[in-house]
Structure 1
Amino acid sequence: MKKCILYVWLLFCGVTVVSCDDMLETKNFTDISPSNFFKTEGDISAAVTGLYLPCTTNWGYTDGGTGVWLNALFNADINAYYPAGMVTTDVVRCYSSNIYDEFNVGPSSGGAIESTYNVIRFVARATDIINQINLSSGATEEVRNRFIAEVKTLRAFYMYTLFDWFGPVNVKLDPATLMDNTILPRPSQEEYIGYIEKDLQEAIDTPSFPDKYNDDLSNWGRMSKAIAYGIRMKLYMHIKNWEKAKEAAEKLMTMGYSIIPEYEDVFNVDRTAEHIWSVPSNTASENYYVTEVLPSDFKKGYNHLGASYIRGDEKTYYSGWQVFCMRWEFYDTFADNDKRKNTILCEYDTNDGVHKDRNNGMTGAIPIKFTDTQFANYGIQKAHPVLRYAEVLLSYAEAENELHGPTKEAIDAVKQVTDRAGVTIPASALAGTNEFREYLLAERGRELFCEGQRRQDLIRHGVYISRSRERGNNAQDYQVLFPIPQSVITEAGGIVEQNPEYPK
């Protein structure tokens, strides 16, 4: 996948023909057929690789179906899925006024809601490719089944992403309807969750679907059985089905993953025993996260121990884009001896020789994360971690706590995370279910900061809106979901309902 990423957008534009410009119409979005494509395993692989188009760290892609440029989901720009959701939380903030940070997103805001909603088209494309693989004789049944399992897992992830932001949406999962542009209403939540569950279960039940790709550089980043279990875990955490969330986490705890010794290596080293799913980055698809968090006058930064981080070489320094930073209030929740603070800069020198800290010009701390990135360019070749074993352990502990309280099993799972960080679980956190629940929310924030999990965590704990209000925003309860883009509502002519309370 890493080798193919440069060609993904060309590939998808090359096999896509569309007769319309909106996100609802799916008719004629592909000219693939058993007679002219999927004649070999390579053809199938190329088509499947094209479905990963939204899953890059690079800026984005031109959708071959609409001709519209869109932000990739894991692009670090503030108008993309993961950072836009991140700045709505208590962990990070924007340096300047921003509609996501201030809870002022509306149906016509464009940006991240348009780009995120666009993955509904990739759900339909996945449906078509599954159908085409079934019709193809270009590979053995075992190989075809493996690719189908991969596509179903990716389709489930896209459906979960849509569900996370917008609630249930009218995805197309029946290949017989792909040429029919009749717009259907949004399904019920129960029905929609069933779609995701079905895809994941069928993928997991496929014997030829690999458990993971950590030892396979050429395929690392592709969907696997472990990722399917991870998506299932996240889905059940989201809807508070604690029994099933715990079950999925327990399965992942038997698949050979573990906490690696050094927290910094999670971000500096690819394909470790802790990585379940990461989005690869290379010279063709760089990761711009570091530049997004560095101040515009940055030269050299320091963590709480005084260790330094230099951007560039000794002669040339590139300024950052100063988009978002860590809130000081959240930074202060870390213990002084917490090793995870080593990946956060709390002071820095400017290009003009001025030393800045929280008392002298720093709006917030700099959550650098990727500490091994002394480079003389704007992008880095470091993978973005989407799902890692630390999240599994913390999710298992949360589910176990909700079911049985802070049991030894729950505590032992968390200790694997806190022991690496060099901190201990306070005795007060073990007093009961409520106390352990509050502790776990805080600990998830410290462990997973700036990895795109915090919004979901705050919503699940029922404090997403209240914490925004504490920061001075006029956030409303209905804003736990983002609005359906106005272009979709208009095109649907009333068939697709807007999320409650947003303007129709």
Structure 2
Amino acid sequence: MKKISKCICCCIALAGLVLTSCNDMLETKNFTDMTPSNFFKTESDIDASILGLYLPCTTNWGFTDKGVGYYQTGLFCADIKSTYTSAMVTTDIIKTYSSNPYEEFIVGPSTVVSGKQGGILDTYNLMRFVARATDIINQINNCSAGTENVRNRYIAEAKTLRAYYMYTLLDWFGPVNVKLDPVTLMDNTVEPRPDELTYVKYILQDLEDAINTQAFPNKYNDDAGNWGRMSKAIAYAVRMKTYMHQKDWANAKADALELMNMGFEIISNYEDVFNLDRTAEHIWSVPSNTASDNYYITELLPADFKRGYNHENWSYIRGTENDYQPGWQIFCMRWDFYDTFEDCDKRKAAILCKYDTNEGKTKDRNSGMVGALPLKYTDTQFKHAGIQKAFPVIRYAEVLLSYAEAENELNGPTQNAQNAIQPILTRANVTIPATAIANKEAFRDYLLEERGRELHCEGQRRQDLIRHGVYIERAKKRGNDAQDYQVLFPIPQKVIIEANGIIEQNPGYTN
């Protein structure tokens, strides 16, 4: 999405001018200089402020957040410090090449990764963007720029993005003391964390408001200039994810059904989901271009990589004799998970299980290859460290799998549940085993593994494992000393200190 991705880069500078605050994590004095009289005079002013809320949503390294005074890793960057990658390496799908506190379940309130606190502090900093959204929503409500429909559309966009940030915070930390009342933005009084039911209501209210906004577009798949912006479909999807998180199966199913009637579909080629923009399967993707690269491929490839091969029966080659980019060797797919794919599964075409090195050697699992390489993005010859490929945050396959899971929890492995995921299986060239539909428990287990195969490396697995109650159990089987309380990450120590006892640390963590 050219407009969004370019403007986000510009808004990094804008954020430093109009979204400043003190360095303390909890202090919001002088939160903003925006007022109806000096900023929101035109629709363009509103648009610029909204684009600033997207700053964390980047596949690039990140941005300098003047509010906290340091460079913050982007949410969807493949760097090991990002929210996306830090969570991914705690699962049964992905492992790192070297010691990592997230993968080893030794993350504490003061854990530092690669010289900075990384995932914990950067993810917690979404609190500031929740507050900024609150301020911007208030500013729009009190200005006369644009028409009423225009203002309502921007408010719905801000509320959907604010809800997604709150959902991410819930996923990582449990309920946190977000600021949703504009009156409190100048007040540095620290409030305690709300209970989970209250917090979830905050998320759901924002999403309901957005969904009920008539001027809010359903989707932007046919609009290259605005693709990547929040839409009504994204609001439904985030609400579905929230209901899935809470195991509210009836409401999760209802939202999945809404999305199933909005014109999305499973496209014919799995690789095209990642190689092409704005397909009928994309609900929300974070765009990349020359101004904001996606470094997933280079983070994935081994340092001695020259060219790779997927399933041996297909002899599929990526890379040529003189056209390759050695990688940074950060993470790979666990062989145990790779082996859950059937040989006939076409999704394996996007996973390398063998590669040639720069020294003329060939590596596979029996000769030094630590794990398989889940490329996802396959139409690149790796000429550059970064690629211009969008990151799919939410796509239609997740909706169908969520519908099937909710329907199964409500009614067992019904024909409707099986029919929902059939387009995914047909594309992958696999079928549902008879044993998988024997009962509710069998189908539940099958859906968890199928979600992994379909959505691997897309940021879903940690929450899927937690929802199914096997996150800690599988970590222990991998040899980690994981504890039940580690389904949540710790609140950063900096926050606990500044709160002076008002904000409670998550159970199990020692400050």
Q: Tell me the TM-score normalized by structure 2.
A: 0.97
Alignment of 1:184-223 (within 5 A): 184-223=191-230
Alignment of 1:81-480 (within 5 A): 81-109=83-111, 110-304=117-311, 305-311=313-319, 314-480=321-487
Secondary structure class of the residue paired with 1:173: coil
| Structure 1 residues 338-395: Cα deviation after superposition (integer angstroms, max 9, x where no partner) | 0000000000000110000000000000011100111411000000000000000000
Question: By how many angstroms is 1:16 displaced?
Answer: 2.1
Question: By how many angstroms is 1:138 displaced?
Answer: 1.2
In the alignment, what sits opposite 1:55?
Answer: 57
Between the aligned partners of 1:375 and 1:97, the Cα distance in structure 2 is: 26
Between the aligned partners of 1:336 and 1:293, the Cα distance in structure 2 is: 23
Question: By how many angstroms is 1:330 displaced?
Answer: 0.2
The one-letter code sitting in structure 2 at the alignment partner of 1:400 is E
Contact kept, 8 Å, 2:318 with 2:378, in 1: the verdict is no
Secondary structure class of the residue paired with 1:420: helix
**Pairs aligned (count):** 502
Question: By how many angstroms is 1:83 displaced?
Answer: 0.8
In the alignment, what sits opposite 1:36?
Answer: 38
In the alignment, what sits opposite 1:23?
Answer: 25
| Structure 1 residues 154-201: Cα deviation after superposition (integer angstroms, max 9, x where no partner) | 000000000000000000000000000000000000100000010000
Secondary structure class of the residue paired with 2:392: strand
Contact kept, 8 Å, 1:279 with 1:385, in 2: the verdict is yes
Between the aligned partners of 2:437 and 2:23, the Cα distance in structure 1 is: 55
Contact kept, 8 Å, 1:146 with 1:206, in 2: the verdict is yes
Residues 339 and 316 of structure 1: is their aligned pair in 2 closer, same or farther, counting only changes over 3 Å? closer
The one-letter code sitting in structure 1 at the alignment partner of 2:72 is L
Q: Does 1:501 align with 2:502?
A: no
In the alignment, what sits opposite 1:12?
Answer: 15
Q: Tell me the TM-score normalized by structure 1.
A: 0.98
Question: By how many angstroms is 1:316 displaced?
Answer: 4.8
| Structure 1 residues 116-166: Cα deviation after superposition (integer angstroms, max 9, x where no partner) | 000000000000000000111111111000000000000000000000000
In the alignment, what sits opposite 1:2?
Answer: 5
Contact kept, 8 Å, 1:88 with 1:100, in 2: the verdict is yes
Between the aligned partners of 2:104 and 2:163, the Cα distance in structure 1 is: 30
Question: By how many angstroms is 1:317 displaced?
Answer: 3.2
Question: By how many angstroms is 1:17 displaced?
Answer: 2.6
Contact kept, 8 Å, 1:2 with 1:218, in 2: the verdict is no
| Structure 1 residues 71-106: Cα deviation after superposition (integer angstroms, max 9, x where no partner) | 111010011001110110000100111001100100
Between the aligned partners of 1:216 and 1:8, the Cα distance in structure 2 is: 21
Contact kept, 8 Å, 1:288 with 1:380, in 2: the verdict is yes
Between the aligned partners of 1:111 and 1:65, the Cα distance in structure 2 is: 16
Secondary structure class of the residue paired with 1:48: helix
Contact kept, 8 Å, 1:300 with 1:308, in 2: the verdict is no
Contact kept, 8 Å, 2:308 with 2:356, in 1: the verdict is yes
Contact kept, 8 Å, 1:55 with 1:72, in 2: the verdict is yes
Contact kept, 8 Å, 1:2 with 1:220, in 2: the verdict is no
| Structure 1 residues 37-63: Cα deviation after superposition (integer angstroms, max 9, x where no partner) | 010000000000000000000001111
Contact kept, 8 Å, 1:153 with 1:223, in 2: the verdict is yes
| Structure 1 residues 417-457: Cα deviation after superposition (integer angstroms, max 9, x where no partner) | 11110000000001000000000000000000000000000
Between the aligned partners of 1:82 and 1:295, the Cα distance in structure 2 is: 20
Between the aligned partners of 1:143 and 1:310, the Cα distance in structure 2 is: 46
The one-letter code sitting in structure 2 at the alignment partner of 1:342 is A
Question: By how many angstroms is 1:34 displaced?
Answer: 0.7
Contact kept, 8 Å, 1:131 with 1:175, in 2: the verdict is yes
Secondary structure class of the residue paired with 1:348: strand
In the alignment, what sits opposite 2:499?
Answer: 492
Secondary structure class of the residue paired with 1:33: coil
Question: By how many angstroms is 1:28 displaced?
Answer: 1.1
Question: By how many angstroms is 1:274 displaced?
Answer: 0.1
Contact kept, 8 Å, 2:159 with 2:206, in 1: the verdict is yes
Secondary structure class of the residue paired with 2:138: helix
Question: By how many angstroms is 1:398 displaced?
Answer: 0.2
Once structures 1 and 2 are overlaid, which stretch shifts more, 3-12 or 45-54?
A: 3-12
Between the aligned partners of 1:318 and 1:259, the Cα distance in structure 2 is: 32
In the alignment, what sits opposite 2:114?
Answer: none
Stretches of structure 1 lacking an aligned partner (at least 5 in a row): none
Question: By how many angstroms is 1:314 displaced?
Answer: 4.3
Between the aligned partners of 1:269 and 1:336, the Cα distance in structure 2 is: 25
Secondary structure class of the residue paired with 1:247: helix
